[in-house]
Amino acid sequence: MASSEPQASKLRVVHVFRAPLGGLFRHVVDLAAEQSARGHEVGMFFDSEALCPRVEAALTRIPGGLKLGLATTPIRRNPGFGDLAAMARFAAYVRRVAPDVVHGHGSKGGLYARLSALACPTGALRAYTPHGGSFNYYPGTAVHRVYMLAERALAPLTDVFLFESAYIAGRFDAYVGARNGVRRIVANGIGPAEFAPVVANDDAADLLYVGELRAAKGIDTLLEAIARVGRARGLIPRAVLVGSGPDQARLAEQAQRLGVAPFVSFAGQTPAREAFKLGRVLVVPSRAESMPYVVLEAAGARVPMLATDVGGIPEIYGPYRDRLGPPDDPADLQARIEAMLTKSDAERQAEAAQLAAHVAERFSIQIMVNSVMTGYAEAAARRRRAIPAPAAAASPN
């Protein structure tokens, strides 16, 4: 697909974020790889303690490499005095590479990107993509209010907000309300190879979960629904949970308590397209999401799927959002699992093909990157309009 990028000139872009993990890291690598392929020079700054062979392998996807270099320093998840040292190192890196754009990803990356405008006022544009971040942190709590105050204070330092979903843009409006800077919705996208169908293994489980093992993902609701299906049908469906996270032990204990442990296996971390072969129906029982890649990837791979009506998931489903169910409702999920399992393979595949066609039209990497680059261009044009033209010199008499 040809680029329709608005910029004629080539840019120097620095991406800053805390940890190279999950969908945020995938988004940054996809964006940096396409920017580099279009001739822009790209650099990155993130937590040094997260650098590992997996991360290094992901960075090799960037054509020509990181021409502005890779800079790292210890960055903690929670705010602290360590941020002062990390911010100083980031400011020094920005001064050294002199980027045209500093693009912050996630709450911590957004903090560093925008504060660097004060620490080293080089004239670079400041872009911010929240990736959910602090906007998904327990609204109404004291910590959430503090985070939103910080977002409000940083908003005037932001040239362009690149929200990954209309849902997160709505949360920004509700809790921050700042209206300065260019605003765009830039949904995540997947590549052409990810629209090739994945066929489940012959011995695939009935149900599959792929993602982090933590409370926000609603896996406890899935386990309860599995137990309810077993009681209703006299046959407990087999499930495979793919991923890792802080709640694995608690979930294993819950499965044991519900009597479904022999039918639920924990498969550890596996690349998504390989994981999709392990189950016949993917279940995404999340309580909170922004624009989850696993839903896009499963849709592209034509994997039959059950998901919840939270965050940006309805934006992915579009005209098929009536297939979504509520979070935290084991009875509803039980009913939807039973309905899905009673359908024929042909029926499930027909529904999956419909969603795949919809996603292919709206959620490609090319569309994502074009929208980001348009956001940069609009912010640059807005800044130029805000700078008054120099007064003409008086003609000598």
Estimate the share of the chain in helix, then strand, then coil, as percent rounded to the nearest 5.
Answer: 50, 15, 35
Residues of the chain with pLDDT under 70: 1-8, 387-397
Contact (Cβ atoms closer than 8 angstroms) between residue 324 and residue 351: no
pLDDT, residue 67, reads 98
Q: What angle do CA 243, 58, 95 make, to 5 degrees?
A: 120
Residue 353 CA to residue 320 CA, distance in Å, equals 12
CA nearest to 201, candidates 274, 282, 295: 274
Residue 377 CA to residue 368 CA, distance in Å, equals 15
CA nearest to 209, candidates 291, 303, 132, 137: 303
For 272, the 3-state DSSP assignment is helix
CA nearest to 39, candidates 15, 17, 7, 71: 7
- Count the Cβ atoms, other than its own, within 10 Å of residue 105: 28
Residue 94 CA to residue 68 CA, distance in Å, equals 10
Contact (Cβ atoms closer than 8 angstroms) between residue 88 and residue 45: no
pLDDT, residue 392, reads 45
pLDDT, residue 393, reads 41
Residues with Cβ within 8 Å of residue 76, at least 6 apart in sequence: 82, 83
For the chain, what is the radius of gyration of the CA atoms?
23
pLDDT, residue 344, reads 95
Instruction: Express each pLDDT in 154-165 by its tens digit.
Output: 999 999 999 999
DSSP states of 294-314 as a string?
HHHHHHHTT--EEEBS-TTHH
Instruction: Express each pLDDT in 46-89 by its tens digit.
Output: 999 999 999 999 999 999 999 999 999 999 988 889 999 999 99
Give the position of tokens 């309805």: 314
